[in-house]
Chains A and B, each alone.
Chain A
Amino acid sequence: MSVALRRLVVSNLQVNLHHVTRVEGHGNIVIDVKGGRLDTCRFDVVETPRFFEAMLRGRPYQDASHITSRICGICAVGHATTSLRATENALGIVPSEQTVLLRKLNFFGEILDSHVLHVMMLVAPDLLGVGSVIPLARTAPTVVGRALRMKKLAGDLCRAICGRHTHPLSLTVGGFAHFPTLDELSDLRARLEAMRGDIDDTVELLSSLTFPEFERDTEYIALYKPDEYAFIDGDLRSSDGGTWPATEYRQITNEHVVAHSSAKHTSHNRDSYMVGALARFNLNHEQLCPAATLAAQALGLKPKCTNPYFNTVAQLVEIVHAAHESIWLIDSLLARGIQIEEPVRPKQLSGEGVGVCEVPRGTLFHRYIIENGSIVAADCVIPTGQNLANIEADMRALVPEILELPREDIVLKLEMLVRAYDPCISCSTHLVDVKFLE
């Protein structure tokens, strides 16, 4: 069997000015069609395991959020927050109302940053028919300028609350080690108000673009809270029916090892399930703010949506939600005033706790066992790992539908499918390679 390898983009590996250290990683799409029949269809993950859970063992509980925020440079706030919630649940800590508000605001900053990057810089070039954001800046500078402004604001929002977006400093067990001033909050509020035009223009742009047509119903899993569109804490809910407390997460994830992936696969009611913005929208759309609901209507996003390419659209709806809710949160904080609070102290130094959050790419779980203030066991299940089996199932359903297309188009559609999930593998690798086995 000969293997024809098609590299989509020639990576420039000359490292003469680039000194930013990157985590290495790779995802490969392997498709083998024999006699018109799909024989092999895999999404290989060949990244080296990173052993964060082992790194946590023996470390004091205060270090956990700082260590685990390094798992991801995009959702560092998500990992830190999930980690803090696991530790706080283990040690009997109930954070103050102000802490809850500030964490939520911080979280929205990260949702905005991550979603803007994905929707406007990673996906928009596909939809507008250019190779990447650089040519897009030439053909549509207003779109890219808008994205940069929105990303900058999201970063500044995070910076005001947690010191810096990547690997936050001031988030700590039981509270905060630093507080934003009322002036900083007022300034951010004004900028968020001013961003509405940019958001409206983005909704208008995306509603005019065509996404690939492809439907495959799957099980959608997301956190659920009775009183809000859940991002931090909540119960687990499935579109196939059923609600579980977060502590029971292993009943949902059922992690198992597969030969072709160094990341474990997960499955619950079916062979695979999906987490992320589309799953959240499908399960919790009724809790979106009115502006986000209007945006969903304008974008043609209706529950239950079973087209995975629309995950990007759901992300844009969440951008609208996060921007509006951030303004509301800032108003609450301005009305209450900011108190300089000491972090809440632990009730005990031993215990077991689970933390759950809906980070940009889906449901994130951290579970720690702490003994005398030291972590003795840890488990982290990340969203991309949970989506891998579902990406493969989508590819298995999609490939027979598009086999008649020219190879270029097949490759583009598969690549766009993987990209729609906003997988974190693309954090650490340059691009997915598509291999045709013949």
Chain B
Amino acid sequence: MTPTLILALGNPLRGDDGIGSAALQALKERALGPHVELIDGGTAGLETALLLEGRSRVIIVDAADFAAKPGSILKRDLTARELELRPVHSDSLHAAGLLDALALAAALGTFPARVTLYGVQPLSLDYETGLSAEARAAIPVLVDSIILALDEATD
């Protein structure tokens, strides 16, 4: 079976947008076994759609602005249907992002059975390296929550 993909996204040069890559580092220190694959997708392009092909379970970790307290964690399942219905964000595709890639996978019929987004509310997305204390504090909770979800999935 194709391993579950944990896909971290974001740009570590933009402050808390580095949360995905920091969480991925923390996940690497926990023995997750051969059924989990970790990929740092950086600033995702359309080819991200190819990473989803043949998978039944994908977990995406990224900074997400959902107007909450910095460091808050959002967990949400994404469906192929809502992505297909969503208006195309960037018609240029020269700078396509995650949602465009997911919508493309949905249209291609390769959208995995379960895709879960873990979003962390950023404090700052300034041009700087390193996370805010709030985002840093979210990492252990985030990692535990992802590992718990993985255990549920394999049960």
Contact = CB atoms under 8 A, between A and B. Distances in A.
A133 B50 contact: no
A131 B43 CA distance: 25
A121 B93 contact: yes
A17 B91 contact: no
Interface stretch (B95-103, B132-140, B146-154): B95-103
Which of B44, B49, B104, B119: most chain A Cβ within 10 A?
A: B104
Interface string B44-82: 101101100000000000111110000000000000000
B30 interface: no
B74 to A, nearest CB: 10
Nearest to B90: A430
Interface stretch (A31-39, A136-144, A213-221, A230-238): A136-144
Contact of A145 (B62, B95, B103, B108): B108
A17 B92 contact: no
The 10 A-B residue pairs whose C-beta atoms are closest, nearest first, are A137-B107, A427-B94, A12-B87, A426-B92, A138-B107, A20-B97, A431-B91, A137-B108, A20-B43, A18-B97
Contacts of A17: 62, 64, 97-99, 117, 119
A376 to B, nearest CB: 26
A149 interface: yes
Interface residues of B, number: 40
Nearest to B105: A137
B95 A152 contact: no
A287 to B, nearest CB: 29
B155 to A, nearest CB: 29
Interface string A150-162: 0110010000000
A359 interface: no
A19 B62 contact: yes
Given A10-B87, A134-B107, A21 B47 contact: no
Contact of A16 (B9, B43, B64): B64
A194 interface: no
Contacts of B46: 121, 133, 148, 151
Contacts of A144: 104, 107-108
A132 interface: yes
Given A132-B88, A151-B46, A141 B98 contact: no
Nearest to A165: B45
Given A9-B88, A12-B88, A73 B94 contact: yes
Interface residues of A, number: 39
Given A137-B108, A427-B94, 15 more contacts: A17-B117, A19-B65, A20-B43, A22-B95, A73-B94, A117-B93, A132-B93, A133-B46, A134-B107, A144-B104, A144-B107, A145-B108, A152-B50, A427-B92, A430-B91
Contacts of B87: 10, 12
Contacts of A22: 90, 95
A290 interface: no
A141 B50 CA distance: 13
Nearest to B62: A19
14 contacts: A12-B87, A17-B98, A18-B98, A20-B95, A22-B90, A73-B95, A133-B46, A133-B104, A135-B107, A137-B108, A148-B104, A152-B50, A427-B94, A427-B95
A9 B108 CA distance: 22
Interface in B101-117: 103-104, 107-109, 117
A227 B107 CA distance: 45
Interface string A1-45: 000000001111001111111100000000000000000000000
Contact of A132 (B91, B95, B97): B91
A122 interface: yes
A15 B104 contact: no
**Which label, helix, strand, loop or mixed, suits the secondary structure of the B interface?**
loop
B89 A18 contact: yes
A22 B132 CA distance: 23
A155 B42 CA distance: 14
Contacts of B63: 19
Given A9-B88, A134-B107, A137-B107, A426 B50 contact: no
Which of A18, A144, A428: most chain B Cβ within 10 A?
A: A18
A239 interface: no
A135 B104 CA distance: 9
A247 interface: no
B20 to A, nearest CB: 10
B92 A429 contact: yes
A74 B94 contact: yes
A433 B155 CA distance: 52
A428 B95 CA distance: 8
Interface in A409-426: 426
B92 A19 contact: no
Nearest to A122: B93
Contacts of A9: 88, 91
B10 interface: yes
Nearest to B67: A16
Contacts of A141: 107-109
Contact of B65 (A10, A11, A16, A136): A16
Nearest to B125: A19
A137 B46 CA distance: 12
B63 to A, nearest CB: 5
